[in-house]
Structure 1
Amino acid sequence: MAQDVLCEVNNCKYWGQGNRCKADAIYVVSHVGKEASDSSETDCKTFTPEH
């Protein structure tokens, strides 16, 4: 299991210094079906705007 989750979306309420995600869990889905070919076919459902 990954120990560090990196994220560059600094307007997410879970964004931390050093591009570290501070969420307790991460939920990622494919927006093209059950299998994705690359990261552009996935979305982070954990994202929540900071404000």
Structure 2
Amino acid sequence: MAKDVLCAVNSCTYWEEENRCKAESIFVAYHAAKQPTEPEETDCKTFKKK
């Protein structure tokens, strides 16, 4: 499990109580044409629907 990683997306398989993420690793990518400068410009590629 990833240590001290929080996630509020409770529709994800890796979500646990208290917004804990139980994925072994996390992959975050960007969805804009340039490197992100704001959190909203990133995407979690680790998400897996429950």
What is the TM-score with the length of structure 2 in the denominator? 0.88
Q: Which runs of 4+ in 1 moved over 3 A?
A: none
Give the corresponding residue for 1:15.
15
User: Which blocks of at least 5 consecutive residues in structure 2 are unaligned?
Assistant: none
Q: Deviations over 1:1-51 (max 9, x none)?
A: x8311001101000011100000000000111351011100000000000x
Matches within 5 A, 1:7-46: 7-33=7-33, 35-46=35-46
Q: Structure 1 vs Structure 2: percent identity of aligned residues? A: 53
CA RMSD of aligned residues (A): 1.5
* TM-score normalised by L of structure 1: 0.86
Gaps of 5+ in 1: none
**Residues paired across the two proteins, number:** 49
